[in-house]
Structure 1
Amino acid sequence: MLTDTALRNLKPKSKIYKVFDRDGMYVAVSTAGTITFRYDYRLNGRRETLTLGRYGPAGMSLAMERERLLDAKRSVDQGLSPALEKQRAKRRLTAAKTFGQMTERWLADARMADSTRAMRKHIIDRDILPVFQNRKLKEVTPDDLRALYNKVKARGAPATAIHVRDIVKQVYAFAILHGERLTNPADDVKAASIATFVPKDRALSPAEIRLAFHQLETIAAYPTIRLALRLILLTMVRKSELVEATWSEVDFENATWTIPKVRMKGRTPHVVYLSRQAMDIFVALHTCAAGSRFVLPSRYDPDRCMSHATLNRVTQLIGSRAKEAELPLEPFTVHDLRRTASTLLNEVGFNADWIEKCLAHEEDSGRRGRSTTRPSTPGRGGTCSRSGPTWWRRGSMGARMCRSWCRRT
């Protein structure tokens, strides 16, 4: 039976030789002096050899190798080949996918609308891959995910944090479906622990709109951000549709903005007919864009659009300022501006079908109920795109004023 002293005294010879321990284990001493533990056994009528490990300061001790031997013998007793399982484990380690590789496969194979794919790719590139790109799938833990979600929430984007969790969860589900032997770490972090959302029915009154935009002028925000919030109210588009807009979509000659189907929730192109006030804002934004292809370029990279969280942070700041000043203005979101426009147009009697067209809604009575929060007043026809109700027109601004705002940046 071998001892540590005996092992340390083993010397290399001109040929490999064996020194037996017990229970089928022995060491093989190479011509270079390397000492390797091995175990010979018979399984299903064939002889197999399992290499347990190397002996030495950088390897395994005799006691540790005997523990490994016991594990191997238990496998043999169960009719399993420890040598084959070791080979399989080695292949799995070599072939282990990184999170970035699996995410790329999932994004290419998953069935989703083009606009959804673009939105998710934006989140993946900005929030997920910088952290997990080169991590093996098994290396990502629930605690790692919690840290990432909290980081996204800290910049004022809880909804994006929920999207991050959903994407990670789907990537792991895809990996498991395609044969990866692992658990899904996203299952251990429930969405409710990140953020909870209550369905909204908030619509601002004309008085609240005046207060909101008055507060907007008092906070430290870029002129382009102020203009963007006004433009959402004027055009009734979704936040993402404006934030990702490019100048190729805007026709100044015909006063239209055509949002391509790839960016539309309903996957149908949407034409926004621009009022004079909206045209003034687009002229000002074009001056501020300084050659970027985006209507609202990022402050840090003109080849990318503004962060989707920027406008959210501004509306939160408006609400905070109003609360500090004890003004009658309840908190509101960017999407509430879209709902506000719909509600007020219904109230003054514009044709409900045309309002739905302006909202780019498909025919859906349930959706119509969610886009307005107060009963409409029958009687006014026509469209709402070229000119809004009277209070709206009064709040317009000239292109000269808009350009002067841009020069202040």
Structure 2
Amino acid sequence: MADSTRSMRKSIVERDILPAFKNRLLTEIGADDLRALCNKVKARGAPATAVHIRDIVRQVYAFAILHGEKVANPADDVGAASIATFVPKDRALSPAEIRLMYRQMESVATYPTIRLALRLIVLTLVRKSELIEATWDEVDFERALWTIPKHRMKGRNPHNVYLSRQVLDIFVALHTCAAGSKFVLPSRYDADRCMSHATLNRVTQIVSERAKAAGLPLEPFTVHDLRRTGSTLLNEIGFNRDWIEKCLAHEDGRSSRSIYNKAEYAEQRRHMLQEWANLVDAWVLGGSYTPTLLPSNMTVPVLSAWV
């Protein structure tokens, strides 16, 4: 189990399971009790947490039964699908939806830094945690480069994000708002801590709800869907797949392609992300833009075996 998963599950045990069941014997907790707890958590808008509660309880009882306890597992009668079902993870916004999202964000009562953070996810294709936990010592304004250290990356390799003009402007605005905090997105309540990881998804949920109430064609989406949107549209436009994969930092062992291709594609990625930012700007304004798929100064390198 990954450290992040272990930490998440520990927090669920301490926050939700122990307060409900800590003074009860295993034989005193039935399916109805577990279902009631899951429904309570689901009612506060946390269906994923409710499903994890059911899974953790199931594992606790399975462990006890394996070691000789004569108890029934209450989770056997509480199916995960009865608690919550989730949309398949293949959502990508269309250019029209990107425009609607940007417009709806302006009407949501939230901090400007949160709007800027969501725009950064769209324009840089980074993971939510990579942005939320970012510190200013990672950002080089002169080189237009954001270097995420390996200990913050899913694949455990440092990752370079090449900054478009639009992204540089956003970082300048965020630096002005940070008020001396080391974090790019500090907490509202403690400048020595980063913003809550739940904040951005709460705002995307509000944006979706506002759009639905207004009858606008913007389906629900998450922060991760914004990252997937960039990948999907860049592939559809025709940009080089390897450049896109490098921007996504897909080097976590999911494919042989990512394992064996160690090229950085620095100038190509910088060009592509600038074209992507120009595209998004055009869509938001209701216009169009024809991207250039190759940088004008790109040359084919000559490789030689001679020293």
Q: Which residue of 1 aligns with 2:300?
A: none
Higher helix proportion: 2
* CA deviation vs aligned residue, 1:88-133 (integer Å, no higher than 9, x gap): xxxxxxxxxxxxxxxxxxxxxxxx22333344345445x4366258
User: Which residue in the other structure is 1:392 paired with?
Assistant: 280
- Deviation digits for residues 131-171 of structure 1, max 9, x if unmatched? 25844552554444334433433343322332333333334
> Cα–Cα, structure 1 residues 165 and 358, in superposed 2: closer, same or farther, change >3 Å?
farther
Q: What secondary structure, in the 3-state scheme, does the structure 1 residue paired with 2:268 have?
A: coil
Q: Deviations 1:278-323 (Å, cap 9, x if unpaired)?
A: 3333343344445555444444555654444432332222222222
1:191 counterpart residue number: 80
The corresponding residue for 1:247 is: 135
Q: 1:338 aligns with which of 222, 227, 241?
A: 227
Are 1:257 and 1:272, in contact at CA under 8 Å, matched by a contact in 2? yes
TM-score by length of 2: 0.71
Residues 283, 180 of structure 1: CA spacing in aligned structure 2 closer, same or farther, 3 A cutoff?
farther
**What letter is aligned with 1:203?**
A
Q: Please give the residue correspondences for 1:4-23 in structure 2 after superposition, counting only pairs within 5 Å.
A: none
1:356 maps to 245
How far apart, CA to CA, are the structure 1 residues paired with 2:134 and 2:39?
31
Gaps of 5+ in 2: 259-266, 285-307
Relative distance call for 1:171 and 1:269 in structure 2 (3 A) is farther
**1:165 equivalent in structure 2:** 54
Amino acid aligned to 1:186 = A
Whole-angstrom distance in 2 between the partners of 1:162 and 1:289: 36
- Aligned mates of 1:147, 1:267 — CA distance in 2: 40
Partner of 2:160: 271
**Residue 221 (structure 1) aligns with:** 110
SS at match of 2:274: coil
Q: 2:268 aligned with 1:382, yes or no?
A: yes
- The answer to whether the aligner puts 1:326 opposite 2:215 as a matched pair is yes
Q: Rg larger in 1 or in 2?
A: 1
Partner of 2:292: none
Residues 350, 383 of structure 1: 8 Å contact kept: no
Give the TM-score taking structure 1 as reference length. Answer: 0.55
For the residue of structure 1 that corresponds to 2:250, the secondary structure is coil
Q: Partner of 2:127 in structure 1?
A: 238
Label 1:117 to 1:339 Cα distance change in 2 as closer, same or farther (>3 A): same
What is the identity, as a one-letter code, of the residue corresponding to 1:170?
A: Q
Look up the equivalent residue of 2:173 and give its one-letter code: A
Q: CA separation in 2, counterparts of 1:266 and 1:289?
A: 28
What pairs up with 1:82-121 in 2 under 5 angstroms?
A: 112-121=1-10
Question: Match for 1:210 among 88, 99, 102?
Answer: 99
Name structure 1 gaps, 5 residues minimum.
Answer: 1-111, 369-380, 397-409
Query: Contact 1:232 / 1:337 at 8 angstroms: preserved in 2?
Result: yes
The CA RMSD over aligned residues, in Å, is 3.6
Give the drift of 1:179: 5.8
- Give the Cα–Cα distance (whole angstroms) in 1 for the partners of residues 57 and 164 of structure 2: 42
Aligned to 1:378: none
Name the % identity.
69
Distance 1:185 1:288 in 2: 50
2:161 counterpart SS class: strand
Larger displacement relative to structure 2 (328-337 or 283-292) = 283-292
Once the two structures are overlaid, the 10-residue window that deviates more, 163-172 or 286-295, is 286-295
Question: CA separation of 1:189/1:208 partners in 2, compared to 1, >3 Å: closer, same or farther?
Answer: same
Q: How does 1:28-177 map to 2 (within 5 A)?
A: 112-125=1-14, 127-128=15-16, 131-132=19-20, 134-136=22-24, 138=26, 140-177=29-66
| Residues 169 and 186 in structure 1, CA contact (< 8 A), matched pair in contact too | yes
State the 1:341 CA deviation.
Answer: 0.5
SS of 2:107's equivalent in the other structure is: coil
State the AA in 1 paired with 2:235.
N
Once the two structures are superposed, residues 325-351 of structure 1 have per-residue CA deviations (whole angstroms, 9 ceiling, x without a partner) of: 222323322222111111221222221
